[in-house]
Amino acid sequence: MKRLRIIGGVAAGMSAAAKARRINPELDIKVFTDNAYISYSSCGLPYYIGGIVKSPNDLIARTTEHFAQQGTKVHTMTRALEIKPDVGLIILEDLTTHELFTEEYDCLIIATGARAVIPSLDGINLRGIFTLRDIQDSQAIKAYLQEYQSTRAVVIGAGYIGLEMVENLRAHGCQVRMIEKSPQILPVMDQDMAQVVASYMESQGIEVLTDSAVTAFRGDDRVREVVVGDNSFPADIVILSIGVLPNSEIAGRAGIELGAGNAIRVNRQMATNLPGIYAAGDCATVHHIISDREVYLPMGTTANKQGRIAGENAAGGSTFFKGVLGTGISRIMELEISRTGLCEQECRNLGIDFITRTIKSRTMVPFFPESGRIRVKILVETHSRRLLGGQIVGYPGSGKRIDTIAAALTLNCRIDDLINMDLAYAPPFSPLWDPVLTAINKF
């Protein structure tokens, strides 16, 4: 019986296990994860903290018992220490007993994910400073907020998770300050679109500091202040959301090639440079459809897709992953933010000559009370008129409109192909001209 071993038990790892089982019911599949939980939604963690999700169990898609019923054994609290590709062996540690043991494999999938970036700053080990990567992190943050009745929160890093944490910290009654090292919040967006979000946040009483690097933390046993240069700000709780690093070290030590962002380099079949070894998820590279480059873009949706591809191919299939667009969506209170494809700076870095158009519209016909403002921006290559990307900021009903642009990007459309798209209209859903179509017709 062919032995498939998987290291990692969240999105990519468990998607791989499930797909491999469907492709080949005779496989001997074992999964090893250093976490107590498997197959959970990391994207839902901020909303558990904020109380929208009532229990962490609600975030779990499938349990170890579910996989066991399918003949897949999942070992939780078990860390892979070393891969020996020359003999097809993994050295592992039981984190409960600290005993070491080995597992042989015929085929291996590495889905070790990523870890939060933690800066080496004075006071970084004070209580009350958190990152958010797994269920245990979310439970610790929620317990701390409840125990100490924290009222002054600082979120460091203004990406998707940082914005979502602002919303969910406010649900606990916190006054929130956001600090971002870059010149703007949401570095994946263009400056003009990010500024719309920043202005909204400030209108809601959230202080936003950009071009501001945190230099230290102060406190007794708990954090009390965040230091930014010559200034300091009071803080009862701090959320670090400044990026992630791929857990690729175990692969690198085994002679597996690393690529963009020091992630595990994979081809379109999720195969590494070593025979019989695949990688998927936040530890792996991915192909960007528009730039045609290898990139490191860790996203939950990508991890699930890559996991399925790795699982199918490890089980004997031959399927390919086309790549990603960097499509993302988030929300901060009432404001929805989404993007796909390339932004202006990415185009400049790639040497692509581009033009942009930005329009302001409404999410519904203006006479509907729920109608809100929406801003749509589209980027197009100058000479070929190829669609390059899009960004949307607006009130409820705005964000998911990005999917129209993402679909067009996937099909490598020119802007002229889209001018007469037959998009749905009814007063509760859209103006007569959908905002995306209005933006397209500006070219």
- Active site positions, annotated: 43
Cβ(97)–Cβ(78) below 8 Å:
no
CA atoms within 13 A on the CB side of 344: 13
Could you give the 3-state DSSP secondary structure of residue 17?
A: helix
Helices and strands, number each (H, E), in the chain:
11, 25
Residue-wise DSSP of 157-197 = --SHHHHHHHHHHHTTT-EEEEE-SSSSS-TTS-HHHHHHH
CA atoms within 13 A on the CB side of 147: 10
CA 164, CA 315: separation in Å to the nearest integer?
38
Cβ(211)–Cβ(198) below 8 Å:
no
Cβ(266)–Cβ(277) below 8 Å:
no
Residues paired with residue 116 on neighbouring β-strands, in sequence order = 244
Instruction: Work out the number of other CB atoms within 10 angstroms of the CB of residue 135.
Output: 21
The torsion angles phi and psi of 251, rounded to 5 degrees, stand at -70, -45
Residue 237: name the closest of 133, 176, 154 by CA.
Answer: 154
- 4: tokens are 């498939």
Cβ(387)–Cβ(415) below 8 Å:
yes
Phi-psi region of 98 (alpha: psi -120 to 50; beta: other; left: phi over 0): left
The torsion angles phi and psi of 419, rounded to 5 degrees, stand at -60, -35
- Exposure of 322 by Cβ count < 10 A (0-12 exposed, 13-18 middle, 19+ buried)? exposed
How are beta strands 28-32 and 72-75 bridged, if at all?
parallel
